[in-house]
Amino acid sequence: MEFEEESSDDNNQDYSQMLYGNSEDDEKYEIHDSIEDEDYRGLELDLMVFCRKHGKATERFVAFEGTSSGRRFLACAEQGADNCGFVEWVDPYWPTPMQNALLKLWQMYEDAKAYRRSDNLNSALTIQTLTCEKKSLEDKFQELAKHVDTLFQAQETRTKEHLYVVSEYKKEFEEQKAEIARKEGENQKLNEKYVILENLSRAQGKMIKNVKCNHLKEKERLIEERRKMKLQISQLHEVLANSEAQIIDEVTKLKNELACMTLSNEKLTEEVSTSSSWNQLLNEKMK
């Protein structure tokens, strides 16, 4: 934008209106921006210029707005609402290049203000977005922490249940082991009884030679007792077989966690096999 030179009076009036604004209601010139100058301040007593309303000495100012930045002017010295505003310029208009330069500087200043305002707005929006994201991440973290805590609690519960099941299996295994030992004890007692019966049979065979009349009855009685004994032995075999199958099943289920018990089970199995062989040998003797 280019400025042209005009007469001093017209320029003073036009630029004072442009810079300070002329109010049509109270016919008062409003004072806008100015800067402090140590060399030009206080009341103007040299020029003897008085304000229009009060007729008092005016106050010195240095303009700081638009193309008149740096120009000295006089205004009413009254404070508050009694101030009647701008009186007159002390300095003439700046040369056109100077005005263009000032206009460019003020435009750059306004652009910088607008840029800072826009940048502040963008920064505020960015901060708000980051705050929302931070809040969302904190909520997700809290939810994840609760989920992890729940998983740990569930894992601890499963571990306790697993240990309880293993303990129950061990307890049941010990009970089965005790049951097998009891069965073996009973089988041993039956074998002892069988030996006694066998000895009695031999004694009865000798007695048969002396008592022929009771031979048939005694023989039938022995046959019946032998049959019952075989039946008992057969039942014992079934019980032992069932117990052995149950133990094998339990050991199979616990073989990953109770490897040490497998050895004991094999030993028990060998003992049961030995007992079976012994029973078979007894059967052969009875035959």
Look at residue 7 in the predicted model and tell me its pLDDT: 39
Per-residue pLDDT of the chain (287 residues; tens, 9 = 90+): 333 433 344 444 443 444 333 333 333 466 667 878 788 878 877 777 888 788 888 888 888 888 888 888 888 878 877 778 777 888 888 998 988 988 899 899 889 989 999 999 999 998 998 989 888 888 888 888 888 888 888 888 888 888 888 888 888 888 888 888 888 888 888 888 888 888 887 877 777 777 677 777 777 888 888 888 888 888 888 877 777 777 777 767 766 666 666 676 677 777 777 777 777 777 776 66
Q: Provide, for the chain, the percentages of residues in helix, strand and coil under a 3-state DSSP scheme, each rounded to the nearest 5.
A: 70, 5, 25
Q: What Å distances lie between residue 160 and 53, 150, 153, 198, 213, CA to CA?
A: 99, 15, 11, 56, 74
User: Residue ranges per domain, the chain?
Assistant: 8-94, 156-286
**DSSP tag of 74:** E
Distance CA 126, CA 120 (A): 10
Look at residue 5 in the predicted model and tell me its pLDDT: 39
Q: Is 226:287 a contact under the CB 8 Å cutoff?
A: no
Q: What are phi and psi of 46, to 5 degrees?
A: -85, -45
The residues near 47 (Cβ < 8 Å, ≥ 6 apart) are: 74, 90
Distance CA 35, CA 70 (A): 8
Which is nearest to 239 in space by CA: 186, 282, 283? Answer: 186
